[in-house]
Amino acid sequence: MEFDIFIQHSDINLYYATSFRAIDSAFYVTCRNGKDYLIVPDMEKERALRESKVKNVLTYGDLGYHDLRRELKDSRRARAEMFVRFLKGLKAESVGIPIDFPAYLAIPLHQNFDVKVVKSPFLEMRAIKTREEIERIRDTSLAILRAFEFGLKVLKREKRCEVVRDRIENYLYLKGYLAENTIVSSGKLSAIPHATGGIVEDHVVIDVFPKSRRHHYYSDFTRTVIVNRNDKIVEMLRAVIEAQEKAISMIREGVKAKDVHYTVCDVLESYGYKTLRQRASEGFIHSTGHGVGLEIHEEPRIFENETVLKSGMVFTVEPGLYYRDVGGVRVEDVVVVKRNGCEVLTRYRKWIELSKEQI
């Protein structure tokens, strides 16, 4: 560490580092000498002792917070002073904090220590998944595929995208998964990548990205369903599928993220479609993928970056094409990088034509 102490406040990084899912404000303090501390509200101590991986669990009360609150008559000032005294007791001179650290604590720390604002080290650690983490993402992936099959059945008899979305989300909730902001869009509205709603027209984009309510890991999956043949949509979808398949075929340890992204661009541009590489406002207008884990968007990013892929990285491959006069199409899968290739965790057929589905 380039500082004596690093403080991680209660967010998904704290959960990753400690296995404790904070409800109220909690903090994980790691020291250069190897010691670490989990600081929690008094009422959370028993749960923290039972659930966390951290041996040294301290409460606000242990650190004198309640006396400070009565003295200062301000809970936030008391919490800040509590931290200043605790860190001085640890002989800290320099303190690292993440970029989204609360300002009411960051300013008092800056007044007493050499504070360095840095990217949380846990973000980089989270980019490489353990075997257990991959199995959790696989579990959520399989749940998505079952929910998508259910959604196709709903789509057979329902023409309102909002209803299809609600039915998919309800299905997942009852199975133990939380899906929010599920994308179900059709017609010209689907030219907006994150739009949802409308009446089912010639095609439907369904993008499902829930997390498990048990182990909290996400997965992500998109398919474009052909309802009625539209030549432009069909041509776009065929190009997107080819681009995705070619990109997936090259993913392995040692490949650069930008090369995966540029492969998608190469295929789509060969069909005459515009891409973001050409600074286009229509066509392929987003990155090729993003990491998936305890958050739906995390490291690594698969775009124009120099990131070198490593075994255990899990991310999406999701090329799309979007044109305001016709709509958009997208195909998305989650893959895990291996030494000599990759495994698709959301394996499912790419071409789906509703009139030919036997549901």
Amino acid, res. 281? S
pLDDT tens, residue by residue, 88-120:
999 999 999 999 999 999 999 999 999 999 999
The answer to whether 81 touches 108, Cβ cutoff 8 Å, is yes
pLDDT tens, residue by residue, 199-253:
999 999 999 999 999 999 999 999 999 999 999 999 999 999 999 999 999 999 9
pLDDT of residue 222: 98
CATH 3.90.230.10 residue ranges of the chain are 131-356
* In the predicted structure, residue 134 carries a pLDDT above the cut 50: yes
Q: Over pLDDT 90: what percentage of the chain? A: 96
pLDDT of residue 357: 59
The dihedral through the CA atoms of 18, 176, 314, 299 has a sign that is negative
Largest CA distance in the chain: 73
* In the predicted structure, residue 359 carries a pLDDT above the cut 80: no
pLDDT tens, residue by residue, 284-331:
999 999 999 999 999 999 999 999 999 999 999 999 999 999 999 999
- What are the phi and psi torsion angles at 137 (to 5°)? -65, -35
The dihedral through the CA atoms of 217, 223, 227, 230 has a sign that is positive
pLDDT of residue 355: 73
CATH 3.40.350.10 residue ranges of the chain are 5-126
pLDDT tens, residue by residue, 54-83:
999 999 999 999 999 999 999 999 999 999
In angstroms, rounded to a whole number, what is the distance separating the alpha carbons of residues 100 and 125? 18
**Element (DSSP H or E) covering residue 353:** strand 352-353
pLDDT of residue 356: 62
Report which of 284, 288, 297 is spatially closest to residue 191, judged by C-alpha positions: 284
Superfamily of domain covering 131-356: Creatinase/methionine aminopeptidase superfamily (3.90.230.10)
Superfamily of domain covering 5-126: Creatinase/prolidase N-terminal domain (3.40.350.10)
